[in-house]
């Protein structure tokens, strides 16, 4: 018995060694055949001959020979696989034959670059004549699949059974998951008021109806009797991308759910009533639970912004709907173009020559307002917030409505950067010079004189209107139409940087602005003041009191927001045209996305206007008034300078505090200090903070003036 067992063990050991040697042999054959078929030119005479013979017999199916040898290696190396030498050999040969015929059928049916060798060329015609090309391909493929599966020890029945079983299981699981999701969705929306996504077309029709029915000052178009002037076509502007903006309903609902979950994490119970999507910002209207204060939302504004993955959000109460709006920037914003607003019914139907296409509301509706009703506009915004582009939009809006004999622009640009492109348009106006000499005003003192003379223009118009017993420019022009008289044009004063003017000639500028702001609207003069530094010494109480309409782009601080709007919010804007517009008589500002117009588009419009060569004409203020104004200005200036120079000679020093103590007011002291530096009486060497005084020049000047 032990001897039999020992013989049996020896026999098993011998079989194992034989299988391992066979496995090593087939592994070597697999490697060599692969090498021969991949690089036959480097396989020597024998290898190349083997490649030619096998390839000519089996064609491209001969490449499967390496895989067959590798499968033999797996069979012999794995002890668990039963060896079937004859059957495996038969299936291996049949696999090569069927694959050769399959490649030949694919070459003829699908016109692919395959070669079936001698076997494929010889045997395929039999199948082609019997079954046709298409059916032959299917039949040969099935035969090859069955033979290969048998050779690879794959049970086709088990394979099909497992596939069908898994498919049925997946269908059942999918239906079960779908029913659970539907149930959860129903429960979720039962607990939470399903947001109503407001339809854009309905809002637009409502908005346009409100604009059409609003109290707009009606005015007939002023037609020239001598010149056929054409307004610029909208085709000069690019198409507005926001006309087709779309945010999917699913995305809006997901972000609404995220917002609600964020509030719930902070213990705030609220429901989302409406979702108002727009091209740049989406507003979510919240209904707060009883006892929840609005101030709680302000305290966690930064946390909400972080959860919504945005740079900033804005929280605004909406009393008419009894909700609190949370304005969240969209993940992808759309640029608002000017053309889309100019083509809207709101702008086309606006009868006022001073209609302004400011931008679009959060829901993508073009916002058009009337400068006549404001009657003046105050604009503020930090550098890069879109303020200059907003001014271009205002100017171009008027150019699309008014002829040069209907509206004139008095443009004051101390920065000398934004306005020069309008230098040659026939709409330019300067009361100091004739129409042919009118240009952009860049010098602060020239701006001061021009505004003073504009006050005289205002007074002359009032006298003219009083003689005809009319109250405003609309009634006056209507009477001129009846009597064929000369009509008056509107004058729009635009100051791009008020801070520069206030620094040098504050008193003169502030006095002129105050008089014009209080009285000029009736005679057709309107002011637009812009600054990037809305501090209290630039936008003074006198100016704010006479400018009920405010427009604020992004500000650098909450203090600046309060100065320009009397409320917070501008500091949370996103920049790039994002603005808050406070119309006169409104309790809270409206958020708009300013229309973008490129410099190239503006130049096209200006070129179109200038190409018509419209005659420039108007009468400047008479010379006698000019001389008197300049004498008074120089007399006041010279008196302060002489007094300041005497003070410097006495104290042997100079500072703003010294001038402020003796002349009263920091603005006046700054003005005198600036004049002394310009005239060369004082200087500040580079690298120092001390004034250098030229006492010799001061002495000579005082001697020349006889003091």
Strand (E) positions, 307-457? 314-318, 323-329, 355-361, 366-370, 377-380, 407-412
Phi, psi of 237 (to 5 degrees): -105, 155
**480 neighbors 342 (Cβ within 8 angstroms):** no
Give the pLDDT band of residue 182 (cuts 50, 70, 90).
low
Q: Calculate mean pLDDT across residues 617-623.
A: 63
**325 neighbors 270 (Cβ within 8 angstroms):** no
Q: Token pair of 407, please? A: 């509206």
Residue 626: predicted pLDDT: 41
Q: Is residue 237 part of a domain?
A: no
Q: Is residue 483 part of a domain?
A: yes
Same domain assignment for residues 574 and 684: no
Give dist(CA 670, CA 540) in Å, integer: 17
**CATH assignment at residue 692:** 1.10.10.10
Same domain assignment for residues 71 and 107: yes
Residue 8: predicted pLDDT: 67
- Helices and strands (DSSP H and E) totals, the chain: 24, 16
pLDDT value at 631 more than 70 = no
pLDDT value at 698 more than 50 = yes
Output the CA angle 81-87-90, nearest 5 degrees. 130
Residue 418: predicted pLDDT: 80
Residue 209: predicted pLDDT: 38
Residue 693: predicted pLDDT: 87
Same domain assignment for residues 591 and 694: no
Q: Is residue 194 part of a domain?
A: no
Q: Which domain holds residue 142?
A: 10-154
pLDDT value at 45 more than 90 = no
**Residue that is last in its domain, among 579, 610, 641:** 610
Residue 553: predicted pLDDT: 93
Mean pLDDT of the chain, nearest integer:
81
Give dist(CA 292, CA 525) in Å, integer: 48
Residue 422: predicted pLDDT: 92
**CATH assignment at residue 314:** 3.30.980.40
3-state secondary structure of 429: coil
Q: For the CA atoms of the chain, what is the radius of gyration?
A: 43
CA neighbours closer than 13 Å in the CB half-sphere of residue 124: 27
**CATH assignment at residue 381:** 3.40.50.300
Name, in order, each residue with C-beta under 8 angstroms of 199's C-beta and a sequence gap of 6 or more: none
Give the pLDDT band of residue 579 (cuts 50, 70, 90).
very high
Residue 390: predicted pLDDT: 92
**Residue that is last in its domain, among 329, 364, 386:** 329
Give the pLDDT band of residue 632 (cuts 50, 70, 90).
very low
**Residue that is last in its domain, among 99, 131, 154:** 154
Neighbours of 420 (CB within 10 A): 13
Give the pLDDT band of residue 70 (cuts 50, 70, 90).
confident
Same domain assignment for residues 575 and 634: no
Same domain assignment for residues 431 and 398: yes
Instruction: Give the H/E segment covering residue 527.
Output: strand 525-531
Residue 172: predicted pLDDT: 73
Residue 552: predicted pLDDT: 93
Give dist(CA 463, CA 164) in Å, integer: 98
Same domain assignment for residues 545 and 658: no
pLDDT value at 322 more than 80 = yes
Helices 2-38 and 44-58: angle between axes, nearest 10 degrees: 90
Residue 36: predicted pLDDT: 82
Same domain assignment for residues 516 and 442: yes
Residue 194: predicted pLDDT: 61
Phi, psi of 615 (to 5 degrees): -65, 135
pLDDT in tens, 486-526: 889 999 999 988 888 888 888 888 888 988 998 899 999 99
What percentage of the chain has pLDDT greater than the value 90? 20
pLDDT in tens, 257-315: 999 999 999 888 889 988 988 888 889 999 998 888 888 998 998 899 999 888 888 88
- Using alpha carbons, select from 97, 101, 79 the residue that is nearest to residue 16: 79
Same domain assignment for residues 447 and 551: yes
Give the pLDDT band of residue 44 (cuts 50, 70, 90).
confident
Q: Is residue 204 part of a domain?
A: no
Reported pTM: 0.59
Residue 630: predicted pLDDT: 42
String of DSSP letters for 319-344 = GGGTEEEEEEE-SS--PPBHHHHHTS
Three-state secondary structure of 606-634: HHHHHCCCCCCCCCCCCHHHHHHHHHHHH
pLDDT value at 192 more than 60 = no
Q: Token pair of 448, please? A: 């001061």
User: How many independent structural domains does the chain possess?
Assistant: 4
Strand (E) positions, 250-306? 270-276, 281-288
Residue 212: predicted pLDDT: 40
Residue 394: predicted pLDDT: 94
Q: Calculate mean pLDDT across residues 584-596.
A: 88
Give dist(CA 399, CA 605) in Å, integer: 9
Same domain assignment for residues 555 and 640: no
Give dist(CA 36, CA 602) in Å, integer: 72
Give dist(CA 326, CA 209) in Å, integer: 26
Judged by average pLDDT, the poorest of 23-27, 155-159, 375-379 is 155-159
Q: Is residue 221 part of a domain?
A: no
Same domain assignment for residues 577 and 673: no
Residue 5: predicted pLDDT: 60
Q: Is residue 287 part of a domain?
A: yes
Q: Is residue 22 part of a domain?
A: yes
Q: Token pair of 704, please? A: 């020349």
Q: Is residue 532 part of a domain?
A: yes
**659 neighbors 675 (Cβ within 8 angstroms):** no
Residue 664: predicted pLDDT: 67
Same domain assignment for residues 496 and 388: yes
Residue matched to tokens 């030949």: 104
What percentage of the chain has pLDDT greater than the value 70? 86
Judged by average pLDDT, the poorest of 165-179, 228-242, 324-338, 450-464 is 165-179
Same domain assignment for residues 149 and 266: no
Residue 220: predicted pLDDT: 38
pLDDT in tens, 51-69: 888 888 888 888 888 888 8
């Amino acid at each position: 018995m032990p001897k039999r067992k020992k013989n049996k063990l020896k026999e098993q050991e011998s079989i194992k060694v034989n299988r391992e040697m066979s496995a090593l042999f087939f592994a070597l054959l697999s490697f060599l055949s692969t090498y021969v078929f991949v690089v036959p030119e480097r396989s020597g005479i024998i290898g190349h001959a083997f490649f030619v013979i096998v390839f000519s017999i089996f064609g491209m199916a001969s490449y499967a020979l390496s895989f067959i040898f590798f499968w033999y290696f797996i069979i012999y190396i794995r002890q668990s696989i039963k060896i079937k030498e004859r059957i495996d050999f038969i299936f291996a040969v049949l696999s090569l034959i069927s694959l050769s015929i399959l490649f030949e059928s694919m070459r003829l049916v699908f016109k692919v670059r395959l070669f079936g060798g001698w076997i494929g060329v010889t045997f395929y015609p039999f199948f082609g004549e019997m079954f046709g090309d298409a059916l032959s391909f299917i039949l040969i493929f099935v035969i090859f699949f069955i033979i290969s599966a048998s050779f690879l020890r794959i049970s086709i029945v088990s394979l099909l059974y497992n596939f069908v079983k898994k498919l049925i299981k997946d269908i059942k699981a999918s239906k079960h998951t779908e029913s659970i999701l539907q149930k959860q969705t129903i429960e979720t929306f039962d607990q939470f008021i399903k947001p109503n996504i407001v339809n854009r077309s309905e809002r637009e029709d409502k908005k346009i109806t409100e604009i059409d029915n609003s109290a707009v000052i009606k005015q007939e178009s002023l037609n020239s009797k001598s010149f056929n002037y054409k307004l610029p076509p909208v085709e000069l502007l690019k198409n507005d991308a926001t006309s087709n903006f779309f945010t999917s309903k699913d995305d809006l609902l997901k972000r609404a759910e995220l917002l609600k979950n964020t509030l719930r994490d902070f213990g705030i119970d609220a429901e989302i009533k409406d979702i108002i999507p727009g091209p740049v910002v989406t507003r979510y209207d919240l209904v707060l639970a009883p006892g929840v204060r609005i101030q709680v939302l302000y305290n966690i504004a930064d946390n909400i912004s972080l959860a919504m993955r945005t740079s900033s959000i804005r929280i605004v109460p909406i009393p008419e709907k009894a909700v609190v709006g949370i304005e969240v920037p969209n993940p992808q914003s759309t640029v608002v173009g000017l053309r889309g607003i100019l083509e809207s019914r709101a702008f086309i139907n606006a009868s006022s020559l001073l209609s302004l296409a400011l931008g679009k509301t959060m829901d993508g509706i073009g916002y058009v307002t009337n400068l006549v009703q404001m009657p003046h506009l105050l604009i503020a915004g930090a550098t890069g917030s879109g303020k200059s582009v907003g001014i271009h939009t205002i100017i171009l809006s008027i150019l699309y409505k008014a002829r040069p004999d209907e509206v004139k622009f008095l443009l004051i640009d101390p920065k000398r950067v934004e306005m020069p492109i309008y230098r040659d348009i026939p709409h330019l106006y300067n009361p100091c010079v004739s129409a042919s000499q009118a240009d952009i005003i860049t010098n602060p003192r020239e701006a001061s004189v021009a505004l003073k003379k504009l006050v005289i223009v205002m007074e002359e118009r009032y006298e003219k209107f009083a003689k005809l017993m009319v109250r405003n420019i609309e009634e006056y022009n209507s009477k001129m139409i009846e009597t064929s008289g000369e009509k008056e044009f509107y004058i729009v004063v635009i100051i791009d940087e008020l801070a520069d003017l206030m620094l040098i000639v504050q008193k003169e500028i502030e006095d002129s602005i105050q008089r014009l702001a209080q009285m000029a609207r009736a005679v057709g003069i309107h002011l637009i003041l812009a600054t990037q530094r809305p501090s209290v010494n630039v936008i003074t109480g006198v100016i704010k009191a006479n400018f009920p309409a405010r427009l604020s782009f992004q500000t650098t601080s909450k203090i600046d927001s309060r100065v320009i709007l009397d409320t917070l919010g501008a500091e949370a804007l996103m920049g790039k045209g994002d603005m808050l517009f406070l119309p006169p008589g409104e309790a809270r500002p409206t958020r708009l996305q300013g229309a973008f117009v490129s410099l190239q588009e503006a130049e096209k419009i200006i070129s179109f206007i200038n190409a018509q060569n419209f005659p420039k004409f108007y009468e400047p203020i008479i010379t006698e008034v000019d001389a008197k104004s300049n004498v008074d200005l120089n007399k006041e200036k010279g008196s302060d300078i002489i007094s300041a120079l005497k003070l410097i000679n006495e104290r042997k020093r100079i500072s703003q505090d010294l001038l402020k103590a003796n002349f009263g007011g920091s603005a006046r002291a700054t003005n005198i200090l600036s004049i002394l530096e310009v005239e060369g009486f004082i200087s500040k060497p580079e690298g120092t903070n001390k004034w250098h005084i030229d006492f010799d020049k001061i002495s000579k000047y005082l001697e020349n003036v006889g003091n």
